[in-house]
Structure 1
Amino acid sequence: MNYYIESPNIPSVAPSLTVLLARLGTMGHYDGEATMQKQESRLYSIGEAYQALVVLFRSIRHVRKAKKKGLIDRLFMERIMLAVTQVNVCPLCSYAHTRMALEMGMASQDIKQLLSGELEQVPDDQLKAIMFSQHYAETKGRPTRKAWDEIVLEYGDCAAKGILGSARIIMVGNIWGVVLGLLQRRISDHSKDTRSSLGYELLLTFSILPFLPLAALHSIVASLVGTPLLRFSGE
């Protein structure tokens, strides 16, 4: 299998994260219960966050290629992003992507079901992709080889990599969206998640600044030396 050598475009790394940063100062406190059940958000370590950025950079080109060929479209990607957001329980991402999905014409009932983990309204030809994306999030980016092989078999190599890249985009958005939400809650209403700390929230929030160029360079080196695009659980 051939893997491309990416030349990442840093401003387009994570549209989801850009949306969150832009909206955080203007939206006020968002109650995630409006669109998703109240659950504990998934927390990622600093190392896991950095690795999520590296693999995202490696996938950007594949997303663009799949979109250019018409193998995935914005609505398909938005379903993936809503499904992954449901797994990671990111209220800020839920808010942002609900707005985006509605603007694209997705029915509110479809959005509600995706954010509840229900897939009845997902088009049949997208169902396996959505389920794989949920699995990718549940395993923190380390799916089983069998799950990946089934996606490649179902959609073909190019579309499968576009699906993977879409999941990676929102994973980065979720990782930083969750911590931004925790920090916002801590500041605005003095509530806090007992699993977290102010130090963790500040460190992860501001780590994006050095991580972006480092992860971009890391992704190029990984491609040059032939590092596989995807690592599997148990390997």
Structure 2
Amino acid sequence: MKSAFHKRVFTLPQLLRISLQAGVRLPLLGKALLLPATSRKLREQVMLACTSVNDCRYCAWAHTHLALKNGVDIEQMNALLASPDQPLANEREGIAMLYAQHFAEQSGKPSAEAKERLSSVFSGAEVREIHAYLYAIYFANLSGNTFDAFLLRLQGKSAENSHLLTEVISSALSAPVLISIWWAARSDRKVTLDSLS
């Protein structure tokens, strides 16, 4: 039985392509997390902008927390992503967020024009770092959604455009991280509810 689950999930070719792209950038990602060329705030803006398109509940929870810790104005960011034609309060941050949104909308294949706009305000090292963040979060977003499609399949339903083999491979790669994020989010909600009562 098909369900109303319409989130983006991995196809097998896409899982292989994005895994390769993220894997190639893993050393740069590690370096960026320790000695970033861009700010932590910008990193979280890029991560959330990509996640806003792919709608991964695990990434949204984790990166919203990190964004708030790093001074991201979530309301202002959401307003920009909803109306990209409005004037940019901070040109560099705005261009990076809109690029991240475009990157996700194009399934990790941004246009030459979008790449050129990003390169017009960021150095080569910063652009490479932004791409490392984007391939990592795109992989994480679709991994989370594909894991949820697998959980749905275990309930006797299947997600549209999702296949069992891809769900199993993706879930095997990402389940330990996703389950720990789910558990932390669940615990966080319980603490929040307890503090309100």
TM-score by length of 1: 0.60
Distance in 2, matches of 1:118 and 1:182, equals 30
Percent identity over the alignment is 21
The equivalent residue for 2:15 is 49
1:47 alignment partner, SS class: helix
Which region of structure 1 is more displaced relative to structure 2, 94-103 or 77-86?
94-103
Q: Is the 8 A contact 2:152 2:159 kept in 1?
A: no
Distance in 2, matches of 1:87 and 1:160, equals 20
1:128 maps onto 2:81 in alignment: no
The equivalent residue for 2:107 is 140
Residue 74 of structure 1 and its aligned partner are, at CA, apart by 1.5
Distance in 1, matches of 2:105 and 2:21, equals 16
Distance in 1, matches of 2:110 and 2:78, equals 26
CA deviations on 1:34-56 (whole Å, 9 max, x unpaired) are xxxx9831122122112212212
The equivalent residue for 1:59 is 25
Change (3 A) 1:39 1:183: closer
Change (3 A) 1:60 1:111: same
Q: Is the 8 A contact 1:41 1:89 kept in 2?
A: yes
Change (3 A) 1:65 1:158: farther
The equivalences for 1:211-222 within 5 A come to none
Which sections of structure 1, spanning at least 5 residues, go unmatched? 1-37, 210-235
The equivalent residue for 1:156 is 123
Distance in 1, matches of 2:121 and 2:71, equals 26
TM-score by length of 2: 0.69
Amino acid at match of 2:168: L
Alpha-carbon RMSD across the aligned residues, in angstroms, is 3.1
1:78 alignment partner, SS class: helix
The equivalent position to 1:177 in structure 2, one of 131, 144, 149, is: 144
Which sections of structure 2, spanning at least 5 residues, go unmatched? 176-197
Distance in 2, matches of 1:157 and 1:59, equals 14
The equivalent residue for 2:191 is none
More helix by share: 2
Q: Is the 8 A contact 2:5 2:160 kept in 1?
A: no
Amino acid at match of 2:44: E
